[in-house]
Amino acid sequence: MSKSTMKPGPITLDVLGLELNAEDRRRIMHPLTGGVILFGRNFANRKQLTKLTAEIKKLRSDVLISIDHEGGRVQRCRTDGFTHLPAMRKLGELWGSKNKSKHTAESAAIAMAAATACGYVLAAELRACGVDFSFTPVLDLDFGRSAVIGDRGFSRDPQITF
């Protein structure tokens, strides 16, 4: 199948480092590949990230490039002008405290505006470097039982999270 007739496949894969090696190129060109996910090991600076994503798109323009980049402790791009974004819990805390009687329309509006602004900044900065989307938690509930979720979740309250 020629590069021009390929359609994205169901598999998302990662790449080894800051630039593509021969094995990365071979796997990206495989017909089952539909996406490439990037991690901290794939980022040195904006110029390098932009070059890496351009090289991926040159191989397969139909492949979606993603990154595990959320803000807080899971922010892969932390230097070279990338905005430091808060953990999602900080945005949930803007909505209100654990006391539901303190959830107001005003606090909800402030929280939603802040979340929208963070999302816009995150997307604009990554898109400018050729990244198509980010794996940002949107519906994780923090029940206090998972260190993995922790401050990555907006809240344990579904009303705040959803």
Can you give the residue ranges of every domain in the chain?
7-67, 82-125+138-161
**DSSP 3-state of 12:** strand
Report how far apart, in Å, the C-alpha atoms of 150 and of each of 74, 85, 153 are.
11, 16, 6
The overall average pLDDT reported for the chain is 88
pTM for the predicted model, two decimal places: 0.84
Residue 137 has pLDDT above 60, yes or no: yes
Give residue-wise pLDDT tens across range 15-28: 999 999 999 999 99
Residue 99 has pLDDT above 80, yes or no: no
Give residue-wise pLDDT tens across range 25-49: 999 999 999 999 999 999 999 999 9
Angle in degrees, CA 151, 154, 157, rounded to 5: 115
pLDDT given for residue 147 in this prediction: 81
